[in-house]
Amino acid sequence: MPAMKTALLLGGSGQIGQALLPRLVSDGWQVLAVSRRAAQMPQMPGVEWLQGSLQQMPTLPHPPEVIFSCGPLDAFSLWYAQNAQPAVRVIAFGSTSLKVKQDSTDAAEREMAARLAQAETRLIEACAGLTLLRPTLVYGSGMDKSLTRIVQLATRHGRFALPRTALGLRQPVHVEDLADAAMACLHHERSIGRSYDLPGGETLDYIDMVRRVLANIDPAPRLHLVPLPVFSALLWLARTSGKVNGFNNAMLARMQQDLVFDSQPAREDFGYAPRAFRP
Protein backbone atom coordinates (compact mmCIF):
# COMPACT_ATOMS: atom_id res chain seq x y z
CA MET A 1 0.00 0.00 0.00
CA PRO A 2 1.55 3.35 -1.00
CA ALA A 3 2.35 5.84 1.76
CA MET A 4 0.00 8.77 2.12
CA LYS A 5 1.12 12.16 0.89
CA THR A 6 2.13 14.48 3.72
CA ALA A 7 1.31 18.18 3.88
CA LEU A 8 2.65 20.60 6.50
CA LEU A 9 0.06 23.24 7.38
CA LEU A 10 1.24 26.34 9.23
CA GLY A 11 -1.49 28.57 10.61
CA GLY A 12 -3.96 25.70 10.68
CA SER A 13 -5.99 27.24 13.51
CA GLY A 14 -6.50 30.48 11.58
CA GLN A 15 -9.35 31.30 9.23
CA ILE A 16 -7.70 30.15 5.98
CA GLY A 17 -6.05 27.15 7.61
CA GLN A 18 -9.32 25.87 9.05
CA ALA A 19 -10.98 26.12 5.64
CA LEU A 20 -8.05 24.33 4.01
CA LEU A 21 -7.90 21.36 6.41
CA PRO A 22 -10.95 19.38 5.21
CA ARG A 23 -10.00 19.99 1.58
CA LEU A 24 -6.54 18.52 2.11
CA VAL A 25 -7.95 15.47 3.88
CA SER A 26 -10.52 14.93 1.11
CA ASP A 27 -7.71 15.16 -1.43
CA GLY A 28 -5.87 12.28 0.25
CA TRP A 29 -3.27 14.16 2.27
CA GLN A 30 -2.01 13.33 5.74
CA VAL A 31 -1.85 16.77 7.36
CA LEU A 32 0.68 17.87 9.97
CA ALA A 33 -0.89 21.02 11.41
CA VAL A 34 1.32 23.18 13.62
CA SER A 35 -0.34 25.58 16.05
CA ARG A 36 0.22 27.19 19.43
CA ARG A 37 -3.35 26.07 20.18
CA ALA A 38 -2.92 22.48 18.98
CA ALA A 39 -4.28 20.99 22.22
CA GLN A 40 -7.49 23.01 21.84
CA MET A 41 -8.18 22.09 18.22
CA PRO A 42 -10.86 19.49 17.39
CA GLN A 43 -9.54 16.14 16.24
CA MET A 44 -10.07 15.19 12.61
CA PRO A 45 -9.18 11.96 10.79
CA GLY A 46 -6.12 12.53 8.64
CA VAL A 47 -4.92 15.50 10.70
CA GLU A 48 -2.16 15.40 13.32
CA TRP A 49 -1.98 18.55 15.43
CA LEU A 50 1.50 19.49 16.61
CA GLN A 51 2.09 22.00 19.40
CA GLY A 52 4.51 24.69 18.27
CA SER A 53 5.17 27.76 16.20
CA LEU A 54 7.62 29.02 13.59
CA GLN A 55 9.84 30.13 16.45
CA GLN A 56 9.58 26.74 18.18
CA MET A 57 8.93 24.25 15.40
CA PRO A 58 8.19 20.72 16.64
CA THR A 59 9.93 17.67 15.23
CA LEU A 60 8.00 16.48 12.21
CA PRO A 61 7.21 12.73 12.12
CA HIS A 62 7.32 12.72 8.30
CA PRO A 63 9.01 15.00 5.76
CA PRO A 64 6.31 17.02 3.98
CA GLU A 65 5.84 17.03 0.23
CA VAL A 66 4.04 20.36 0.34
CA ILE A 67 3.97 23.24 2.81
CA PHE A 68 1.00 25.57 3.16
CA SER A 69 1.68 28.81 5.01
CA CYS A 70 -1.56 30.45 6.16
CA GLY A 71 -0.09 32.63 8.89
CA PRO A 72 2.21 35.68 8.94
CA LEU A 73 4.32 35.64 5.78
CA ASP A 74 7.31 37.46 7.26
CA ALA A 75 7.73 34.91 10.05
CA PHE A 76 7.32 32.01 7.63
CA SER A 77 9.87 33.42 5.19
CA LEU A 78 12.47 33.78 7.95
CA TRP A 79 11.88 30.21 9.12
CA TYR A 80 11.93 28.75 5.61
CA ALA A 81 15.10 30.60 4.61
CA GLN A 82 16.87 29.14 7.64
CA ASN A 83 15.30 25.68 7.45
CA ALA A 84 14.88 25.00 3.74
CA GLN A 85 12.69 21.93 3.37
CA PRO A 86 12.91 19.35 0.59
CA ALA A 87 9.22 19.96 -0.06
CA VAL A 88 8.08 19.65 -3.63
CA ARG A 89 5.77 22.63 -3.26
CA VAL A 90 5.25 25.69 -1.06
CA ILE A 91 1.98 27.62 -1.23
CA ALA A 92 2.09 30.73 0.94
CA PHE A 93 -0.49 33.39 1.70
CA GLY A 94 0.58 37.00 1.88
CA SER A 95 -1.64 40.04 1.45
CA THR A 96 -2.51 42.78 -1.01
CA SER A 97 -1.61 45.10 1.88
CA LEU A 98 1.88 44.90 0.38
CA LYS A 99 0.61 47.14 -2.43
CA VAL A 100 -2.12 49.03 -0.57
CA LYS A 101 -0.01 50.24 2.35
CA GLN A 102 3.40 50.81 0.79
CA ASP A 103 2.65 54.54 0.42
CA SER A 104 0.51 54.90 3.55
CA THR A 105 0.67 58.07 5.62
CA ASP A 106 1.08 55.82 8.66
CA ALA A 107 4.68 54.76 9.36
CA ALA A 108 3.68 51.46 10.97
CA GLU A 109 1.66 50.52 7.89
CA ARG A 110 4.55 51.37 5.56
CA GLU A 111 6.82 49.23 7.70
CA MET A 112 4.37 46.34 7.53
CA ALA A 113 4.19 46.60 3.73
CA ALA A 114 7.99 46.64 3.56
CA ARG A 115 8.16 43.48 5.70
CA LEU A 116 5.73 41.74 3.35
CA ALA A 117 7.80 42.75 0.33
CA GLN A 118 10.98 41.50 1.99
CA ALA A 119 9.25 38.25 2.93
CA GLU A 120 8.16 37.64 -0.66
CA THR A 121 11.68 38.31 -1.95
CA ARG A 122 13.17 36.02 0.69
CA LEU A 123 10.85 33.16 -0.25
CA ILE A 124 11.33 33.60 -3.99
CA GLU A 125 15.09 33.32 -3.50
CA ALA A 126 14.83 30.29 -1.20
CA CYS A 127 12.13 28.20 -2.89
CA ALA A 128 11.88 27.13 -6.52
CA GLY A 129 8.47 25.51 -6.03
CA LEU A 130 6.74 28.55 -4.59
CA THR A 131 3.31 30.01 -5.25
CA LEU A 132 2.40 33.28 -3.49
CA LEU A 133 -1.26 34.17 -2.94
CA ARG A 134 -2.35 37.68 -1.93
CA PRO A 135 -5.97 37.93 -0.73
CA THR A 136 -7.84 41.20 -0.46
CA LEU A 137 -10.33 41.76 2.38
CA VAL A 138 -11.05 38.30 3.82
CA TYR A 139 -14.46 37.40 5.31
CA GLY A 140 -16.61 34.36 5.98
CA SER A 141 -15.27 32.82 9.18
CA GLY A 142 -15.89 35.54 11.75
CA MET A 143 -12.15 35.58 12.46
CA ASP A 144 -11.14 38.55 10.32
CA LYS A 145 -10.20 41.94 11.76
CA SER A 146 -12.17 44.09 9.34
CA LEU A 147 -15.78 43.17 8.60
CA THR A 148 -16.19 41.22 11.84
CA ARG A 149 -15.01 44.28 13.72
CA ILE A 150 -17.69 46.35 12.00
CA VAL A 151 -20.32 43.78 13.04
CA GLN A 152 -19.13 43.91 16.65
CA LEU A 153 -19.20 47.71 16.85
CA ALA A 154 -22.56 48.02 15.11
CA THR A 155 -24.14 45.31 17.27
CA ARG A 156 -22.83 46.90 20.45
CA HIS A 157 -24.15 50.38 19.65
CA GLY A 158 -27.13 49.57 17.45
CA ARG A 159 -25.86 51.92 14.76
CA PHE A 160 -22.86 52.59 12.59
CA ALA A 161 -21.55 55.76 10.98
CA LEU A 162 -19.57 56.31 7.80
CA PRO A 163 -18.48 59.40 5.92
CA ARG A 164 -20.52 60.08 2.81
CA THR A 165 -17.26 60.08 0.89
CA ALA A 166 -16.53 56.41 1.72
CA LEU A 167 -17.00 55.36 -1.89
CA GLY A 168 -13.68 53.63 -2.49
CA LEU A 169 -14.11 50.29 -4.25
CA ARG A 170 -13.55 46.99 -2.47
CA GLN A 171 -13.43 43.29 -3.47
CA PRO A 172 -14.07 41.21 -0.32
CA VAL A 173 -13.02 37.57 -0.74
CA HIS A 174 -14.60 34.59 1.04
CA VAL A 175 -12.21 32.42 3.03
CA GLU A 176 -13.58 29.26 1.38
CA ASP A 177 -12.62 30.63 -2.04
CA LEU A 178 -9.08 31.16 -0.78
CA ALA A 179 -8.89 27.55 0.41
CA ASP A 180 -10.16 26.42 -3.00
CA ALA A 181 -7.50 28.57 -4.66
CA ALA A 182 -4.72 27.00 -2.61
CA MET A 183 -5.89 23.50 -3.55
CA ALA A 184 -6.18 24.47 -7.21
CA CYS A 185 -2.61 25.77 -7.20
CA LEU A 186 -1.46 22.44 -5.82
CA HIS A 187 -2.86 20.71 -8.90
CA HIS A 188 -1.79 23.27 -11.51
CA GLU A 189 1.94 23.35 -12.21
CA ARG A 190 1.47 26.57 -14.14
CA SER A 191 1.16 28.37 -10.79
CA ILE A 192 4.69 27.39 -9.69
CA GLY A 193 7.01 30.36 -9.47
CA ARG A 194 4.17 32.87 -9.69
CA SER A 195 2.37 35.36 -7.44
CA TYR A 196 -1.36 36.05 -7.62
CA ASP A 197 -3.69 38.70 -6.26
CA LEU A 198 -6.92 37.06 -5.07
CA PRO A 199 -9.83 39.52 -4.95
CA GLY A 200 -13.42 38.49 -4.42
CA GLY A 201 -15.88 38.01 -7.25
CA GLU A 202 -17.65 41.35 -6.87
CA THR A 203 -16.49 44.96 -6.78
CA LEU A 204 -18.56 47.36 -4.68
CA ASP A 205 -18.04 50.63 -2.86
CA TYR A 206 -17.24 50.80 0.84
CA ILE A 207 -20.67 52.10 1.86
CA ASP A 208 -22.48 49.34 -0.04
CA MET A 209 -20.17 46.74 1.49
CA VAL A 210 -20.93 47.93 5.02
CA ARG A 211 -24.65 48.23 4.25
CA ARG A 212 -24.75 44.55 3.25
CA VAL A 213 -22.86 43.55 6.38
CA LEU A 214 -25.30 45.42 8.62
CA ALA A 215 -28.30 43.93 6.80
CA ASN A 216 -27.26 40.50 8.09
CA ILE A 217 -27.52 41.57 11.73
CA ASP A 218 -30.83 41.04 13.55
CA PRO A 219 -32.03 43.61 14.38
CA ALA A 220 -30.18 45.51 11.66
CA PRO A 221 -28.23 48.49 13.04
CA ARG A 222 -28.95 51.83 11.42
CA LEU A 223 -26.30 53.18 9.05
CA HIS A 224 -25.66 56.93 9.34
CA LEU A 225 -23.90 58.66 6.45
CA VAL A 226 -22.40 61.93 7.63
CA PRO A 227 -20.13 64.64 6.20
CA LEU A 228 -16.43 63.81 6.44
CA PRO A 229 -15.66 66.55 9.03
CA VAL A 230 -18.47 65.25 11.24
CA PHE A 231 -17.20 61.68 10.94
CA SER A 232 -13.66 62.81 11.76
CA ALA A 233 -14.95 64.53 14.89
CA LEU A 234 -16.96 61.45 15.91
CA LEU A 235 -13.92 59.27 15.35
CA TRP A 236 -11.79 61.55 17.50
CA LEU A 237 -14.35 61.35 20.31
CA ALA A 238 -14.54 57.56 20.00
CA ARG A 239 -10.76 57.25 20.18
CA THR A 240 -10.52 59.61 23.14
CA SER A 241 -13.18 57.70 25.07
CA GLY A 242 -11.58 54.35 24.26
CA LYS A 243 -14.60 53.08 22.32
CA VAL A 244 -12.55 52.60 19.16
CA ASN A 245 -8.93 51.51 19.06
CA GLY A 246 -6.54 50.94 16.19
CA PHE A 247 -8.42 53.04 13.62
CA ASN A 248 -5.92 55.53 12.22
CA ASN A 249 -6.19 58.39 9.74
CA ALA A 250 -4.68 56.25 6.98
CA MET A 251 -7.62 53.84 7.30
CA LEU A 252 -10.02 56.76 7.02
CA ALA A 253 -8.28 57.97 3.86
CA ARG A 254 -8.49 54.48 2.32
CA MET A 255 -12.28 54.47 2.63
CA GLN A 256 -12.22 56.96 -0.23
CA GLN A 257 -9.66 55.07 -2.34
CA ASP A 258 -10.28 52.27 -4.85
CA LEU A 259 -8.49 49.07 -3.79
CA VAL A 260 -9.07 46.93 -6.89
CA PHE A 261 -6.99 43.98 -8.05
CA ASP A 262 -6.91 41.82 -11.16
CA SER A 263 -8.06 38.21 -10.75
CA GLN A 264 -7.57 37.30 -14.41
CA PRO A 265 -4.11 35.68 -14.04
CA ALA A 266 -5.47 33.41 -11.29
CA ARG A 267 -8.57 32.61 -13.34
CA GLU A 268 -6.45 31.65 -16.35
CA ASP A 269 -3.76 29.68 -14.51
CA PHE A 270 -5.79 27.62 -12.03
CA GLY A 271 -9.46 28.34 -12.59
CA TYR A 272 -9.97 30.80 -9.75
CA ALA A 273 -13.70 31.54 -9.49
CA PRO A 274 -14.55 33.60 -6.39
CA ARG A 275 -18.15 34.16 -5.36
CA ALA A 276 -19.99 37.48 -5.23
CA PHE A 277 -20.04 39.27 -1.88
CA ARG A 278 -22.61 37.64 0.39
CA PRO A 279 -21.69 38.33 4.03
| Three-state DSSP state, 50 | strand
Residue 107 in domain = yes
Question: In the chain, what's the furthest Cα-to-Cα distance?
Answer: 69
- Which strands make up the sheet holding 29-35, listed edge to edge? 47-51, 29-35, 5-10, 66-69, 89-93, 130-135, 194-198
Whether 85 shows a pLDDT value over 90: the answer reads no
Mean pLDDT computed over 101-114: 94
Residue 275 in domain = no
Rounded-to-integer distance, Cα 253 and Cα 213, Å = 21
Q: What is the pLDDT of residues 168-179, one digit of tens each?
A: 999 999 999 999
Residue 278 in domain = no
Rounded-to-integer distance, Cα 248 and Cα 235, Å = 9
Whether 273 shows a pLDDT value over 90: the answer reads yes
Give the pLDDT of residue 122: 96
Residue 196 in domain = yes
Residue 154 in domain = yes
Q: What is the pLDDT of residues 120-157, one digit of tens each?
A: 999 999 998 999 999 999 999 988 989 999 999 999 98
Q: What is the DSSP string of 229-266?
A: HHHHHHHHHHHHHTSS-S--HHHHHHTTS------HHH
pLDDT band at 1, cuts 50/70/90? Answer: very low
Q: What is the pLDDT of residues 199-237, one digit of tens each?
A: 999 999 999 999 999 999 999 999 999 999 999 998 888
pLDDT > 90: percent of the chain: 81
Q: How far apart are the first and last CA of the chain?
A: 44
Residue 276 in domain = no
Residue 202 in domain = yes
Paired strand residues for 198 = 135
Residue 229: which CATH number? Answer: 3.40.50.720
Number of domains in the chain: 1
Residue 144 in domain = yes
Q: What is the pLDDT of residues 26-59, one digit of tens each?
A: 999 999 999 999 888 989 999 999 999 999 999 9
Range of the domain at 41: 5-270
The whole model's pTM is what?
Answer: 0.94
Helix-helix angle 206-215:147-157, to 10 degrees? 60
pLDDT band at 86, cuts 50/70/90? Answer: low
Nearest of 260, 262, 258, 253 to residue 168 by alpha carbon: 258
